[in-house]
Structure 1
Amino acid sequence: MRYRILGTTQALRPDGTPVAVGGARLRALLTVLALRAGRSVPAGLLTEEVWAGDLPADASGALQALVGRLRRTLGAEEIRSAEGGYRLAVAPDDVDLHRFERLTGDGTRALADGDPAKAAVLLDDALALWHGPALADLPDRAPEAARWEARRLDAARARHTAAIALGHAGQSLPELTALCDAHPLDEPLQVLRLRALRDAGRAAEALAAYDEVRRLLADRLGADPGPELRTLHAELLAPQAREAPDSPGAPAETGAAAVRSAQVPRAGATAPPGNLRARLTSFVGREDDIAAIRGDLASARLVTLLGPGGAGKTRLSQEAAEAVGDTAHDGVWLAELAPVADPDAVAQAVLTAVGARETVLYGAGAEELRAVAERRGDPVERLVEHCARRRMLILLDNCEHVVEAAARLVEELLARCPGVTVLATSREPLGVPGEVLRALDPLPEPVALRLLADRGAAARPGFRVEDDPEACAEICRRLDGLPLAVELAAARLRMLTPRQIADRLDDRFRLLTSGSRTALPRQQTLRAVVDWSWDLLDEDERDVLARLSVFARGCDLAAVETVCAPPAPPGAAPPALGPSAATARDRA
């Protein structure tokens, strides 16, 4: 069993289904026990906290009766009698409050150790555990709840510190502004807001915000801003010091400013080669995947990201490529193969993507030069000649419909161009020697909820997952954590509430049809995503998948072969699956 007390008290079975805990006293008793998970709670303390000083005439008997009801609700083994009291027989990590405390501690330590990416993941998981006011069902909750609300604010501060260090200042600003409005005298929060404004390129607004904070502190407390605020104010007034940190006597940048300076080219600097374009939306989650891909690319020359349509392979490949761009001295180049219908055109598409344009020849001697050019007119040869002496990373995006041609080209490039590394995305492996496969898992629920919150706020300003957490969690769960599906659901928030969307997901193909107009047609609706995958299959593979539809919750190999093998002649042993059917089975 798992328990929630960061909000309305809930008990959850191992499969996540809730157990109905009816009655305010019963929930109060469960809250007190969960707050001290695994420890014996004296009967006197239980009665005091459950009845909040308004004790019944027979307090001991009333407590025994209440414990009996709770045992019938949860199971007798969940509530153990201990000397002079009772305890909830559960590990602390199975109670959201204690799990929050552990994750927050781990995240804060990661931040102190200089790993903001790890800290961000841990702190996001910690903050996602909240679904309302702490200890909401405890009658006299104020003192204890205040401590946990303060801890929640500490976690939020640390999370925004990590976001700013990662260069995500603009994404943090809306929530930081709201937190500062709720806690105007919290100077560490105000420091974070000013840093985020500065790092988002809004230094003038940061100066104006500092002046507001200074006046507020003077009016309410008769005090001046603290040292950290004053130091930040001085930095805002002297931007030239940050632009030339190597000049004698200039202060060195620290924290987010140093991260930003390392990422943004200075005026007059030459931009690194490549054709990756700036992304227009924030990137949510997948920090562990980026780190894993970075490690893969350090040890292998071909890494293929595998996953179903809408899993986010394209976006992840670009984020991962940008993270390792400093190792590709001749640039990161994206070749989008989705528009390529003819396998013979794959090499030309990559040639165009890496900027190896043809030269048109005129004037004297042009005919002789054209004759030389024609002898090496094969796009594969021109691509090899262009890449042979370069150290570059090539992204081959959406290889699945031209997978054989892509595989042949990649093998040729890797064999003849020692400085080339390839990061590919596909729904099946390329099958090239030395290929490292990295399969994408669905987004875990906390990350899917963050994605829904981010895209939902863009579709409907003011949207918050916390306003209807159960419906939002149901949306993410029923969409299997598929990023594209979650984004399509978020787009529907312009017209529907989260509960209305969740209630309509039985007809999801008609519901999820509001994708970006600038996206590829197969990424604009959920049905188009599925149709693209279906169209890539041959008849035998489609037949196998149609037969597999009889299984509701997965199946083993013996069941697949029984259902999907072709019928055997009378008296003969059942035949093995054919090659196409076996491939479809493996894909399924």
Structure 2
Amino acid sequence: PAPPGRGNGNLRARLTTFVGREDDIRVIGDDLARARLVTLLGPGGAGKTRLSQEAAEAHEGRGGWPDGVWLVELAPVDDPEDVAEATLAAVGARETKLRGAAAEELRVLTDRNGDDPTTRLVEHCAHRSLLLVLDNCEHVVEAAAELTERLLTHCPGVQILATSREPLGVPGESLRPVEPLPDPIALRLLGDRGAAARAGFTVDEDPAAAVEICRRLDGLPLAIELAAARLRLLTPRQIADRLDDRFRLLTSGARTVLPRQQTLRAVVDWSWDLLDEAERTVLRRLSVFAGGCDLAAAEAVCADPSGDTGDAAAFDVADTLGSLVDKSLVVAAPGPGASGMRYRLLETVGEYAAERLAEAGGDREETARRHLVHYRELARTSDPLLRGRRQREAADRLATEYENLRTALRRAVTTRDADEALCLVHSLGWYWHLHDQRTESRHWTEAVAALGTNPFVAPVVPAQPVYGQLVDSPPPYSGEVLAEAWRALHLVRLAARDQTNKDWDDPEIRALVDGVIATYRPGLPQTCRTPASLWIYAVMIAGDAGLLKQVVDATVTTARTLGYRWELASALQLRANILANRADWAGDASRDADESLELFRELGDDWGCAEALSARAESRERRGEHALAARDYREAIAYAERLGAKAQVTVLRVRMAGTLTENGEMAEAERILTEITATVQRFGNEAMPAARMFLAGILGRTGRIAEARVQIQVLREEFAYGAYAIFDVFLLATTAWLDNQDGRHEDALQGIRDATTAFRHPLALMVAPHLPATFLLTAAVSLVSPGGPRREYDGARLLGAYRGLLPPQHVPVSTEREDFAVAEKLARSALGDTAYEAAYAEGGGLTLEEATALI
């Protein structure tokens, strides 16, 4: 063996700056302190080569390698048998000595005829302490593994840092994945390389485009460097917009690097060429997934039903998937919760695989069809679980797979497969409702509706009884089930419209409402269950209070008769909500809410428990039991938070804030409402109008009129005026109340005139029939206040009408009590007790129309 000698190795100076990766270098140093073989794993272009050299150089001084760090570049090696020879050359196979001025003696250390190169390398390294950096092992991985094991077992002073797209598989190997660059580091790299390509460039030129480039290129350093080179020709936004065709765009690599590193396509081609046929089949089929997949989905979608993969025999998807993970072409990471591992493709690999799938003839259509069927079944079988103890589990599963579900829906619509599209929409409808995803619901129901005709357009065919859920069975559908599926689709469309700016009096909507009411009748079994239960929206929009009462009573009775426990709980909760606002109807809202809550608790339905508690809280509010109502709201919020229903939590917090205000906890109510109105809501808008109006009320009562008006102005800007009958009424009434607080009594009176006009809509009259009486109270304050019209007699008559028109069960809220006290005092003072009592009694005999005429 050659005697040990100190050497500096062969690491060369790098020609570009090294950006980031400080933590990676530190961790690799820790790995080398524990293991003799560390392999850096990552996809092509991840920066493994550069990182290995930077890490080796950073730790050379304290790594215990007195004989140096030696880089062995295996990328140019085509024949596995040449791996040992390449390593020999890299570590200094020839040693030259000079004697005299011009003489030299050449001693060839490793060129003895007949010697095995691996043996010569072992002899060379046996008594040396050095680090070998074996770079790019993937295409000669077996030869590299054999050489590595031989060196580690026979040369105790040798450590090896390898880079590869798959593990070497040598005992004692420590694997260190090279992750894509995080956003801040990727942006630094783009800025650094971009400035080299175009003087003066910084990512601040277009920060959004720069972030998009880095993210869509998966944080891969090579891809980012190729994109930076394009800055000589294109702006960041132009590059970002062209990344759907990234393989044509990113072709400007350095001329001095290997051909497979000069273009993005060449980088991925290199990995593809190293795969066997089974691996190529699974990889290209994985491109149909969006947002990754679990093992069950991969096996269902990527398997070859015929067992024919061309030149390859039938393959095991799980084993093949594992091989692709080992080769850094598939990213494996634990899914949320305890859902197991999930597998995904980097966007660049995914685009490449999709191209290969498109080239594979009918394989694309067959794979996409299997994807559609798998995720349709996931949605269909998860839907019942959303109504019970497994509600959170099922909702989380659907959330995890949502991009795949959208992809399946898109395919069903694109291929005009109406049965599949109907099944998916109805399977996802309750999930959309739970998470207040009305935009999604509206989008997909509109898209699917375009595949068929509207069943509510004349001539209307009355619905026949349909038992069970629409999605009890997979497609295809026929007969009354198919007819009901189309009807239900348009009911979901109608329910999703309440966040649009279309007025309920729009002819298209009125025609739809009339058709729904002509089609259904109270007590049909399907109207107890979603989605047909949504026909209640049409009944409410029609404004027929008698029909509404008949429908909710019949739904409770039918659900109880048929033994539909979840549907009974839901119907009771709905009736409790309506009864809380219709004191003129016979019934007990609290009793219904209590029974609903008991059923939902037995079923383990968190969403239902929250809604039942909310209904009970509202009924308690109407009775003036504000402390008990607040307690119910807090419990309801806890249920909704456990489910993760953020929209429901926000609505409940707004309602609780209103109750806290009435309970004297105004500071806490203001804190809650301020927090909600200051937060950008990423779900429905249901809570925001009420939150702003409640907050405006608190601000107005505490003298901050200008701040209160800001809240009203924001509402006017955020919501199209005239879009919602009840919302417009509340907005006008709140503004009028603020005008009174601000001494602008003529303006307040005009605002109340406008509110009474807007309130003539049937929907408003049916849902909140007591509101017009409160308008009379606001008008009375305007008429009797100093600076107002000073029509004290009419003001006193309005006070009498206010009291006379409200049902006996009505409990005034604090603002009503305060306004009544102020108006009564001013009217009595101006008229005297006798005249006031006469006017008040006269007002008590007025009809709503007569009292409104006084305004």
Q: Which has the larger radius of gyration?
A: 2
Structure with more contact order per residue of length (Cα contacts < 8 Å, sep ≥ 6): 1
Structure number with higher helix proportion: 2
